[in-house]
Structure 1
Amino acid sequence: MTSALETQVRDRLATDERRLLLMTHVIVGYPSLEANRKMLALMGEADVDLVELQMPFSEPVADGPTFVRANQEALANGLRLDDYFDFFEEAGQLCSCPRLMMGYYNTVYRLGHEQFCQRLAQAGGAGFILPDLPIEEFGDLFDLSQRQALDPIMLMTPTNTEQRLQQIGDHARGFVYTVARKGVTGSRTKMEEGGVFDLLKRCRAATSLPLALGFGLSTGDDLRLLYDSQAKIGIVGSALLQAWEEGGESGYARLLAELSDARA
């Protein structure tokens, strides 16, 4: 059965006649909640299509140096789970696009699967991304999330075998997050070298869901290279955070505008 999130993605592509959707990323609590509010307001103005709101964690194993530091500083600033869910709900007033929880399984484990799904749904979440949780260890999280109309977003990576890609595809809902390269977030991916497009073809063979591509996308030109690929969503996170750190609100807005313009 097609989920609400998948329907939103497909409708957005069809009705807005966009060649690509843009998904962005915010680490909640870094550099501050007030800065996060400004980021989301700018995303709303730029008509961003989806956003990941990351719950900070002390050991974010999939993240590169920029995000690791941001996670640690957000925690040092005192951000707690209640603050995260309160902000997650507030974010819906700043940016109307679907919101996804991104985080690590330790957070979900501490809350308990049922409470996690309930709180995320109550806050207006469309789904969640847990990069350190393999499908074999989801347990009742699949059923509990479905009851709350939440989509667990699965990751497909360059190291997955064809059999593994098929297993992931069988459990995926909403869309699939394709990891552009080995390693962690932040380092720029060389899109023109071709391996990314081969990976997207392999992922397409394993699922009919929309494919998102992340890890290392940073410019409008990166997004334009995806026009004729299997990917329908480009994910930009670290580059936007760096734009904020280096250029403040105006630098962030400039990069958002560049990325938004690249969708058409």
Structure 2
Amino acid sequence: MRLAEQITGGPSGQPIQIMTHQILGYPDFDTNYEMIRLFQESGARLVELQLPFSEPIADGPVFLHANQASLASGTTTKQCLEFAERVVTDFPGLSFLFMTYYNVVIQYGIEEFVKACAAIGIQGLIVPDAYPEESQEFMEACRKHTVEPILIVTPYTSSERLAYLSAETGGFLYCAARKGVTGTKTSFGKETEAFITRVRSIAKTPIAVGFGIQSGQDVRFLEGKSDIAIIGTQLLTVLEQEGLSGVRRFLKTIIPA
């Protein structure tokens, strides 16, 4: 089943789906695994696995530190692929996507990377700096190997470009709720609602909203508007401050019953 067909939340009348996030190798792969176990137990449906990169331009300071710490500990792309293969097998109720930066993909080999993702069951790729008009080889490899290229729009994306990105994206369209990097609190209100409404009027796929979701209140704001709510930095912050037990408690406040 293609990724878009698995997304039944938001405006369809079903509870909004939650996509959680892990930076692989941080603080270590064992903790990554236990976090994913918590995601499945808590009712998350999608998991974004980030392959670390030294200069993650879309990420704020919390993720920047985690990326660099993971690399400093020796994390490799090969290890990330092996870990992903394991969790795809062990957690069949979850849909897994990779998030990384284009340099990682290029260094591995574009088609080789996408082919490897398909072979282990990765369903989508979020590569913020792989702009579709400048990365035809990547887009073609995704189509060839049936891995969805997830593209990103912001409130500053023109309607013309939004239509283009909507036509090119696969699985869903990633809506960054504001300009800037991950981790900073977003004030969800009329401007966010107007942005989502504009995207919804153009998008040909389900939509996901991320950047700055930090509480159950934020998720409830998005219910009935977005198909997916993406939660990343806040999960890592809770893990660092309160450990796995704190993450379990936090997930109960985030994920609709």
TM-score by length of 2: 0.95
- The answer on 1:242 being equivalent to 2:237 is yes
Counterparts of 1:259 and 1:35, CA distance in 2: 20
Residue number among 5, 8, 30 corresponding to 1:7 in the alignment: 5
1:39 aligns with: 35
Counterpart of 1:76? 72
- For structure 2, the residue ranges without an aligned partner over 5 or more in a row are none
Aligned residue number for residue 160 of structure 1: 157
Q: What aligned pairs does 1:1-264 form with structure 2 within 5 A after superposition?
A: 4-10=2-8, 18-95=14-91, 96-192=93-189, 194-229=190-225, 231-260=226-255, 263-264=256-257
Displacement of 1:207 after TM fit?
1.2
RMSD: 1.6
Q: Secondary structure at the match of 1:225?
A: helix
Would you say the 8 A contact 1:31–1:74 is kept in 2? Answer: yes
Task: State the alpha-carbon separation in 2 of the partners of residues 56 and 39 from structure 1.
Answer: 17
Contact 2:10-2:224 within 8 A present in 1 as well: no
Shift of 1:171: 0.5
Letter in 2 for 1:241: L
CA distance in 2, matches of 1:14, 1:46: 22
Aligned residues: 256
Q: Report if the CA contact (8 A) 2:11-2:227 is conserved.
A: no
- State whether residues 176 and 209 of structure 1, in contact with CA within 8 Å, keep that contact through their aligned partners in structure 2: yes
* Preserved contact between residue 132 and residue 139 of structure 2 (Cα < 8 Å): no
Cα 1:142–1:90, aligned 2, differ >3 Å: closer, same or farther? same
- Cα pair 1:100 1:125 within 8 Å, conserved: yes
Encode CA deviations 1:28-62: one digit per residue, 9 max, x unaligned: 00001111111011111112110100000000000
Q: Which moved more, 1:139-148 or 1:39-48?
A: 139-148
Q: Distance in 2 between matches of 1:210 and 1:35?
A: 31
CA distance in 2, matches of 1:6, 1:24: 17
Question: How far did 1:144 drift?
Answer: 1.6
What's the offset of the Cα at 1:228? 3.2
Do the aligned residues in 2 keep the contact of 1:41 with 1:94 (CA within 8 Å)?
no
**1:117-172 residue CA offsets vs partner (Å, 9 max, x unmatched):** 11111121001000112111121222221221100001011121111111111101
SS at structure 1 position matched to 2:105: helix
| 2:227 alignment partner, SS class | strand
